[in-house]
Amino acid sequence: MGAGLAFNGAHERYTRQDFIWLNYHVHIPQPDPMVNPSGVARRTFYGVNSSPSYFFDGESDGGGGSAEGAKGLFDSKVDPKIQTHLAMAPEAAVKIQATQVGGMVKAKATVSNVKSKSDKLRVQIVLAEESVTYSGENGERFHPIVARGMAVDAKSAQGFALAPGKGGSFEYTFDLAKLMADAKESLANFEKKERDGTYTFREKKHEIKNGLVAVAFVQDEATKKVLQATYVKIAPPKAK
C-alpha cells in the first residue's frame, strides 16, 4: 500500500506531461479483480514476481512498503527518481490523439526525432481508466490509471515495431465491449483453471465505467528503456 500512496502523491504533484504512470494489475500476492490480458502480458514482459513492483521508464526500482512509510518512500525514492528522469533529454518525440465514438476508441500515435538506433524499438498505445473503486485486502479503495488494454499489431503480440532512428504514425481502435469481455473471461479462467474452482471473486471489476485516458510511449524492448511518453484525456462521447 505504501508504494501506491507514494505514487498517488506524485500523481497529484506533477502534471501528466511530466509524470505519466500506468497501473497494470496482477494476481500477486492475492487474486485481483482488475486483472486483464494486457496486465498479464506486461507482467511477463517485465518478469514481475511480486506486487507492487514499479518501474521508472522501464527501470526496476523496487516496490512494497506500509502505508506509514509512504511519505518516506515518496521523499527518498519516488520524487528524486522523477526529478532525475525529468532532467534527462528525451530520445524521441511522441504525440497522441484519441477520440471515443460509442463503444469504440480510436487512437493515433505519431513518433518523430528518434535518437536510438536499436532494432528492438516498439510503440505502445495503452487505454486506461482514470479511477477504479475497489476495496482490496490492503485497504486501498481508489485505484488510478488502471490499464484496460494495449494496442496489438497484427504482426506481433503487442505494440508496433519502429525502425531504428525512424518515426511514423500508428493507429489502433479499442473495442470497449471486447476489452470488458476479454477481462471477464480472464477472471473466469483464473477461477476455474488456476484455482481449480476453489476461488470465486466477490466482485469482478472488468467493466469500464469511468473516464478514459490514452498513453503512448516508445520503448526499447532489449533494455526496457522508455524513450518518451505522452498522455491525453479522452472526451466522453456526446449524448444523442
Does residue 17 lie in a domain region? Answer: yes
Q: What average pLDDT does range 226-237 have in this prediction?
A: 95
Residue 3 pLDDT > 90, yes or no?
A: no
| pLDDT 10s digits, 52-99 | 899 999 998 877 767 888 899 999 999 999 999 999 999 999 999 999
Question: Which domain covers residue 8, as residue numbers?
Answer: 2-234
Does residue 112 lie in a domain region? Answer: yes
Does residue 239 lie in a domain region? Answer: no
Does residue 127 lie in a domain region? Answer: yes
Which CATH number characterizes residue 70's domain? 2.60.40.10
Predicted model pTM: 0.94
In the chain, how many domains are there?
A: 1
CB-based contact 224:122 (threshold 8 Å) = no
Does residue 240 lie in a domain region? Answer: no
Q: In which band, very low, low, confident or very high, does the pLDDT at 138 lie, cut at 50, 70 and 90?
A: low
Number of C-beta neighbours around residue 159 at 10 A: 24
More confident residue, 17 or 48: 48
Does residue 223 lie in a domain region? Answer: yes
Residue 157: the pLDDT is 67
